[in-house]
Amino acid sequence: MDTTRPDGSMRADRREGVELSRRDLLPAALLGAGAMGLLAGAARAGPLNPPAGPVASGGRTLQEIYDKITPGDPRTPVNATTCPGDANAQFIIATPGSYYMTASHTVSGKVVVRITASDVVLDLNGFTLHVSTNSAPAVDCGPVTMVTVRNGVLRGLGGVNLTNAALAVVERLVVFGSSGTSIGAGRATVSDCRVTLASTTGACVSVGSESLVQRCVCSGGGTGVATGSGSMIADCEATSAQATSAGGGFFLGNGGAIVRCVARQCGNGILAGENCTIEGCNATGCTTGISVGQFCRVIGCNTAGSISAGIAATNSSDIRECTCSGDSALATGLAAINVTGSGSRIERNTTIGGRRGIRCTATGNMIASNFCRGATGTGSPSANYDIVAGNDVGPLTSASGAISAWANITF
């Protein structure tokens, strides 16, 4: 809005407003100038004659700063004062809590750490526990509940034995050169461990019922991973586990599952009880690739170079979408897929080479939509399909001659 009068003068209220603003700004300007002067004076202040002697820092060290901003470690170090031992154990943890190792230890003829209290977490903190003589474990426990052992190396004859714990967790351990069972527990979760077992007996990992073993790598021994009933094994590898009866690469109790696991150069690659699921697994160069009890599912697995059967099953099993290559080449009476009972479904599998493709010695099975070729042995009606009468078998034909979706392809 125009505030200028016709004669060119400014209206009084507008002029007064300008003058009022200038009056308000003057004290603020003076105050700012005074503050700057004070700050400049403070910056120049200081003793003209400093005290004699060397100049010392008045600041804090990095460690002092870290200690100030970081709360203290609530865990207890394992040593002779906090965890005094006895003739049978170097250290004994007798009070619930979280503990950690502060150094590596080598002992002879006794346990390094024994846990006699429930609700204990033991962090090896990257150190090594070494049992040089005797087969005592490096870590064991009494009849307790909820024990965790993690983050370290166990060498020599001793592993970790938590079979007396009602609940246990073992994770991120390297166990090398032990005899017997390297990692033993009852109801437990075992994760991210690597075990090399020097002997040809014992188990790298052995747990009880309702357990989980995952992401572990095992070499040597009689068994790579053994579980009780209702357990699961996932994403593990077992090599050179030599047992051919109750063991081998993986031994799975009744009602369990094993997924995405690899067995190489083992006795049994995978040996499972009843009512189990084996899915997405691989067994190479084993005596028997995969052997299951009744009521099992074997889905999407691969076997290769098995001395006897690639996949062996008894009654009422479901074997689907598996590939078996070069199995049973040295076994006179077996096959890549060898079924000795009734009531099984054998569908959409592939067998290549070996002595026989699919062999069924009992009646009442369904065999459909498979692909078998190159078997070198004998069988009825052929080496690729050695199946007794009384089974429901899709037509045996070449792919070009198949007119049924259930046809079994052979050449």
Query: How would you write the pLDDT of the chain (411 residues) with one tens digit per residue?
Result: 455 555 555 544 444 444 444 455 445 444 455 544 444 444 455 567 767 777 766 677 776 776 667 666 789 999 999 999 999 999 999 999 999 999 999 999 899 999 999 999 999 999 999 988 777 899 999 999 999 999 999 987 778 999 999 999 999 999 987 777 899 999 999 999 999 987 777 899 999 999 999 999 999 888 999 999 999 999 999 998 876 666 789 999 999 999 999 999 998 999 999 999 999 999 999 999 999 999 999 999 999 999 999 999 999 999 999 999 988 866 677 899 999 999 999 999 999 999 999 999 999 999 999 999 999 888 898 999 999 999 999 999 999 988 999 999 998
With beta carbons less than 8 A apart as the criterion, state whether 349 and 322 touch.
Answer: yes
Global pTM value: 0.81
With beta carbons less than 8 A apart as the criterion, state whether 147 and 127 touch.
Answer: no
pLDDT for residue 20: 44
Measuring CA to CA, which residue among 341, 263, 340, 245 is closest to residue 306?
263
With beta carbons less than 8 A apart as the criterion, state whether 270 and 238 touch.
Answer: no
Phi, psi for 332 (deg, rounded to 5)? -65, -40
With beta carbons less than 8 A apart as the criterion, state whether 282 and 263 touch.
Answer: yes
Alpha helices in 243-397 (DSSP H): none
Beta strands 188-191 and 168-178 are parallel
279 burial via Cβ count (<10 Å: 0-12, 13-18, 19+): middle
Cβ neighbours of residue 154 closer than 8 Å, sequence gap 6 or more = 128, 129, 130, 138, 139, 160, 173, 174, 175, 176, 178, 182
Q: What is the distance, to the nearest Å, from the Cα of residue 99 to the centroid of all Cα atoms in its chain?
A: 23
3-state SS track over 294-317: CCCEEECCEEECCCCCCEEECCCC
pLDDT for residue 114: 97
CA distances from 282 to 58, 235, 386 (A): 66, 11, 24
